[in-house]
């Protein structure tokens, strides 16, 4: 029986990599892709998602428009990192138009699909958590009907990539991240920023990955050029551990949802999100001393089977 997934994305280059990984996995059924503001504007996110589906010949998968701004506070984006359009500023005159989006709103579609498949659907979120926060507000029983939740976001050691202490997806909507970590009591697996930095892939693998003779690989090579230049700067290489390489951060959460045996080491701990600190707003907080009195604990990924992960990456562009 195939794993039923809903992907919640803010499609920049790393989301595109993760979507393509899921599309290439024979044991996965993607019920829908829901879009959010984040790496780039909501319209760009929707367009980019459709572009990825087109290159993979999977425009049959429904795509839904979600939240265009965070619950509170200012918008953040990563257009300096992913390009102004979110996909490396490589225009495609034949890209699918927004008329291919579903008419129903993302959050309502998400609630409906999970209700129709109770206990069978896993959510994989590689975006700010706004859509999920709105979903639980509209249907408080929504998290209980999920099989599992996989998140790329947050941090474990106050290492930031957007603010001093904050990871992008959580900083882009701290209130949403707080709501999700408080109210989603389904099994929750988190691929944090530090985790992804410790499980980087060498540039030699990247070259092999992109050299595959396929339309998918050629597409990825084009949209990845801008981000690769950013990743190879001294600033970004300093953030990584284990030597020079690239960090396909969203792919870790996706890979864990696809293959239950991928994560080889993890830890369970109660978590929340700081909302008020000058330097720590959006930082994920780990409660090792049980001060929060929370029954629900998240599973924080620590190590992965690198060979299995590389194979999933390779398969994505075959």
Q: Choose the catalytic residue: 10, 14, 15, 139.
A: 10
CB 22 within 8 A of CB 313: no
Q: Which residues contact 75 (CB under 8 A, 6 or more apart)?
A: 37, 69, 172
> Can 43 be counted among the known catalytic residues?
no
Which ranges of the chain does DSSP label H, i.e. alpha helix? 13-23, 42-55, 79-82, 106-116, 130-138, 142-145, 168-171, 174-183, 193-198, 203-210, 215-231, 234-239, 249-258, 306-316
For 5, the enclosing helix (H) or strand (E) is strand 3-9
Q: Which residues contact 315 (CB under 8 A, 6 or more apart)?
A: 21, 24, 25
* Nearest C-alpha neighbor of 255 from the set 59, 119, 124: 124
Q: Name beta bridge partners: 69.
A: none
Burial per residue of 262-290, b for 16 or more beta-carbon CB atoms within 10 angstroms, e otherwise: bbeebeebbbbbbeeeeebbbbbbbeeee
∠33-296-8 over CA atoms, to 5°? Answer: 10
CB 49 within 8 A of CB 19: yes
Catalytic residue list: 10
């Amino acid at each position: 029986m195939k794993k039923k997934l809903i992907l919640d994305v803010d499609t920049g280059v790393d989301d595109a990599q993760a979507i393509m990984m899921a599309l290439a996995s024979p044991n996965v059924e993607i019920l829908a892709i829901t879009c959010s503001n984040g790496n780039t504007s909501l319209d760009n996110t929707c367009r980019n998602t459709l572009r990825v589906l087109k290159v993979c010949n999977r425009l049959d998968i429904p795509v839904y428009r979600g939240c265009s701004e965070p619950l509170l506070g200012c918008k953040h984006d990563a257009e300096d990192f992913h390009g102004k359009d979110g996909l490396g500023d490589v225009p495609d005159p034949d890209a699918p138009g927004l008329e291919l989006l579903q008419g129903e709103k993302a959050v309502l579609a998400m609630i409906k699909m999970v209700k129709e498949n109770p206990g069978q659907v896993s959510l994989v979120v590689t975006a700010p958590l706004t859509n999920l926060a709105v979903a639980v507000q509209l249907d408080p029983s929504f998290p209980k009907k999920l099989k599992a939740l996989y998140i790329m976001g947050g941090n474990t050691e106050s290492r930031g990539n957007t603010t001093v202490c904050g990871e992008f997806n959580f900083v882009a909507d701290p209130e949403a991240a707080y709501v999700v970590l408080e109210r989603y009591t389904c099994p929750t697996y988190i691929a944090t920023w530090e985790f992804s930095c410790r499980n980087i892939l060498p540039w030699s693998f990247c070259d092999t990955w992109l050299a595959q003779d396929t339309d998918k690989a050629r597409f990825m090579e084009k949209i990845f050029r801008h981000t690769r230049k950013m990743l190879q700067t001294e600033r970004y290489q300093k953030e990584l551990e284990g030597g020079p390489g690239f960090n396909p951060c969203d792919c870790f959460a996706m890979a864990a949802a696809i293959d239950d045996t991928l994560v080889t080491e993890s830890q369970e701990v109660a978590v929340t999100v700081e909302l008020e600190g000058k330097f720590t707003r959006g930082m994920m907080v780990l409660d090792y001393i049980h001060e929060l009195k929370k029954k629900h604990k998240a599973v924080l990924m620590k190590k992965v089977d690198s060979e299995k992960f590389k194979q999933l990456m390779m398969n994505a562009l075959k």
